[in-house]
């Protein structure tokens, strides 16, 4: 039936690896690259010849050419470079990254500056090409997944990356929700699930209810800077410390060595999932007296790794508790526990999570591919709609993972849309001018639940322009905040007196300005007090 329709794809755009899948003849297919690999490293390499390589070809360049091989872009996308957690992530990246306009990180490679969405767009374009070759048809529409706790800005930047890659982004989908779609596909279920998703750089936990192809997310939470990379970093610190003690050389000063140590630690961590002890040698880390190459002999036990990473795992269990409370559940009423993300292979993680939820995790779905699988299903559901029962795959009732608020008098945050509200959702608030003849008002917008505005994540400034000049307090603007199915904020505004639409634009912090990819950057200067009127 879908024979003549252009195929749609689902993309799990990961920190470390990406996966692309499609629904064909009622079966989900994971799409390989031209060498048959189903996991595509999210790495972009810039060769001396001026070529851009992506995936396995790029990953092979990481140690040869670390300064021109970009990975972990997902840790930077849509974020302010001033964010302390971004700075921490950057401290371990060997490539050059500095502050651009609007606080966004810009990456310099071979004398050219790239925005983070541009880097991610290379990965997405690669996946699009893989799909086109595999399916033998053009592909122009996709669902792309993101961690549930991604902010508005991170979602927008991801969507933007998709567009730069020539894809119409049908939906920005939350990763744990995608996993649930995959789990529930083709089965008549009445179930309550917990999805624990620990990837390379992010952690999400989601509780949802499934009934008759309807997937209702009850609550979601997590930590946007917690993942397997933190596990690697604990090992890197431990081994770099050992090298420092023995050789009096700080490996941080040498990006090539630092990058090799990082990869070695990742491998040690993975091996320790199967073995109790891992020992070996990392060669050519530095040059010693007389030009002698220096190496590091190491031995790490699983118990040692577990004691290093335990605080991180505990943090994730804490988040599970919060999400269950928000869903109004106790762990005992859950029908199943799903683990997603490569880092859930770590035995300590499996043990702690099983212990907390009081059950063993299910094993019927592949943790590496399940998110892309769900994304492919959602893509199919979105293009076919749901009015024809024969083609009704599923309906997803997802939530906004963070509250949306505005700054009000006294430095407080007024919540406009609460965390865990099903999307799409809209809320209307009325605002008045506070100065005579005021024609422009600015509203500070944030995401988060803290009482004080400054304690939340600053999203940006909402600017209402072209207001008719009137005495203060006379102009009443009705502002409708809409969080769409992508979890992205849209705003529209209306002047209550003239009943005219008012120009309302959001200026999002950390987003590429038009200038960086051609055009003029928006100005954040200027002011005009705007205060909420009585409710």
Name the 3-class secondary structure at 526.
coil
Min separation Cβ 150 and other proteins, Å: 19
**How does DSSP assign 68-116, residue by residue?**
GEE--GGGTTT--TT-HHHHHHHTT--SEEEE-GGG-EEEEETTEEEEH
Min separation Cβ 204 and other proteins, Å: 21
For residue 178, what are its two tokens? 């995608």
CA dihedral (294, 299, 305, 307) positive or negative: negative
Q: 48: which residues sit within 8 A by CB, 6+ positions away?
A: 110
Q: Which residue number, 339 or 380, has a Cβ lying nearer to other proteins? A: 380
Is position 352 annotated as part of the catalytic site? no
Which 3-state string (H, E, C) describes 182-238? HHHCCCCCEEEEEEEEECCCCEEEEEEEEECCEEEEEEEEEECCCCHHHHHHHHHHH
Min separation Cβ 331 and other proteins, Å: 20
Residue with tokens 């972009």: 44
Min separation Cβ 480 and other proteins, Å: 9
Q: Which residues bind other proteins (CB under 8 A)?
A: 170, 211-212, 214, 216, 328, 381-388, 395-397, 408-415, 418, 421-422, 424-427, 432-434, 451, 472-474, 476, 482, 484-485, 529, 531-535
Min separation Cβ 351 and other proteins, Å: 34
Distance, CA of 122 to CA of 130 (rounded, Å):
12
Nearest of 413, 463, 407 to residue 439 by alpha carbon: 463
Contact 148, 204 (CB under 8 A): yes
Q: Which residue number, 249 or 531, has a Cβ lying nearer to other proteins? A: 531
Min separation Cβ 403 and other proteins, Å: 10
Q: Which residue number, 241 or 328, has a Cβ lying nearer to other proteins? A: 328
Residue with tokens 């199915």: 485
Burial class (CB in 10 A: 0-12, 13-18, 19+), 456: buried
Is position 175 annotated as part of the catalytic site? yes
Min separation Cβ 415 and other proteins, Å: 7
Question: Among the options 74, 128, 352, 419, which is catalytic?
Answer: 74
Is position 197 annotated as part of the catalytic site? yes
Nearest of 63, 83, 398 to residue 219 by alpha carbon: 398
Question: Among the options 33, 118, 175, 229, which is catalytic?
Answer: 175
Name the 3-class secondary structure at 11.
strand
Distance, CA of 494 to CA of 503 (rounded, Å):
8
Q: Which residue number, 466 or 529, has a Cβ lying nearer to other proteins? A: 529
Q: Which residue number, 249 or 397, has a Cβ lying nearer to other proteins? A: 397
Name the 3-class secondary structure at 291.
helix
For residue 525, what are its two tokens? 């200067």
97-126 residues labelled b (16+ CB within 10 A) or e (exposed) = beebbbbbbbbebeeeebbbbbbbbbbbbb
Q: Which residue number, 32 or 528, has a Cβ lying nearer to other proteins? A: 528
Q: 90: which residues sit within 8 A by CB, 6+ positions away?
A: 76, 81, 97, 105
Contact 362, 344 (CB under 8 A): no
Question: Among the options 118, 197, 223, 229, which is catalytic?
Answer: 197
Is position 495 annotated as part of the catalytic site? no
- The residue length of the chain stands at 535
Min separation Cβ 495 and other proteins, Å: 14
Min separation Cβ 182 and other proteins, Å: 17
Distance, CA of 447 to CA of 78 (rounded, Å):
14
Catalytic positions: 12, 74, 175, 197
């Amino acid at each position: 039936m879908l024979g003549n329709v252009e195929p749609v794809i689902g993309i799990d755009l990961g920190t470390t690896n990406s996966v692309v899948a499609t629904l064909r003849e009622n079966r989900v297919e994971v799409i390989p690259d031209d060498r048959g690999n189903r996991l595509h490293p999210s790495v972009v390499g810039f060769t001396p010849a001026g070529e851009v390589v992506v995936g396995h070809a790029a990953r092979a360049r990481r140690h040869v050419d670390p300064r021109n091989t970009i990975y972990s872009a997902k840790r930077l996308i849509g974020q302010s470079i001033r964010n302390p957690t971004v700075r921490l992530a950057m401290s371990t990246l060997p490539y050059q990254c500095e502050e651009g306009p609007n606080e966004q990180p810009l990456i310099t490679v071979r004398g050219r500056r790239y925005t983070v969405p541009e880097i991610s767009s290379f990965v997405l374009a690669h996946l699009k090409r893989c799909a086109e070759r595999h399916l033998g048809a053009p592909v122009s529409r996709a669902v792309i997944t993101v961690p549930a706790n991604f902010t508005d800005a991170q979602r927008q930047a991801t969507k933007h990356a998709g567009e730069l890659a020539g894809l119409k982004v049908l939906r920005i989908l939350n990763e744990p929700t995608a996993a649930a779609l995959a789990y529930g596909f083709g089965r008549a279920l009445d179930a309550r699930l917990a999805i624990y998703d620990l990837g390379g750089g992010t952690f999400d936990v989601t509780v949802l209810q499934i009934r008759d192809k309807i997937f209702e997310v009850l609550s979601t939470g997590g930590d946007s800077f917690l993942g397997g990379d933190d596990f690697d970093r604990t090992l890197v610190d431990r081994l770099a410390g050992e090298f420092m003690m023995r050789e009096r050389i700080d490996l941080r000063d040498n990006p090539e060595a630092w990058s090799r140590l990082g990869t070695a630690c990742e491998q040690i961590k993975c091996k320790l999932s199967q073995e109790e002890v891992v020992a070996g040698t990392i060669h050519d880390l530095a040059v010693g007296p007389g030009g002698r190459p220096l190496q590091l002999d190491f031995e790490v036990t699983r118990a040692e790794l577990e004691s290093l990473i335990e605080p991180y795992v505990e943090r994730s269990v804490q988040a599970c508790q919060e999400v269950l409370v928000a869903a109004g559940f106790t762990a005992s009423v859950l029908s199943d526990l799903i683990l997603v993300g490569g880092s859930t292979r770590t035995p300590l993680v499996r043990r702690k999570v099983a212990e907390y939820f009081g059950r063993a995790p299910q094993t019927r779905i592949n943790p590496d591919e399940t998110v892309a699988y769900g994304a492919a299903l959602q893509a199919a559901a979105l293009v076919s709609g749901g009015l024809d029962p024969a083609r009704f795959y599923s309906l997803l009732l997802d939530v906004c993972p963070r509250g949306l608020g505005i700054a009000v008098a006294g430095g407080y945050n007024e919540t406009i849309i609460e965390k865990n509200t099903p999307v799409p959702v809209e809320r209307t608030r009325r605002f008045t001018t506070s100065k005579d003849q005021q024609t422009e008002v600015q509203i500070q917008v944030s995401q988060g639940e803290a009482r004080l505005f400054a304690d939340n994540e600053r999203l940006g400034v909402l600017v209402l322009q072209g207001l008719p000049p009137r005495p203060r307090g006379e102009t009443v603007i009705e502002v409708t905040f809409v969080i769409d199915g992508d979890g992205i904020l849209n705003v529209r505004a209306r002047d209550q007196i003239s009943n005219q639409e008012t120009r309302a634009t959001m200026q999002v912090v950390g987003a590429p300005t038009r200038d960086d990819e051609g055009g003029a950057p928006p100005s954040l200067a200027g002011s005009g007090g705007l205060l909420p009127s009585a409710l």
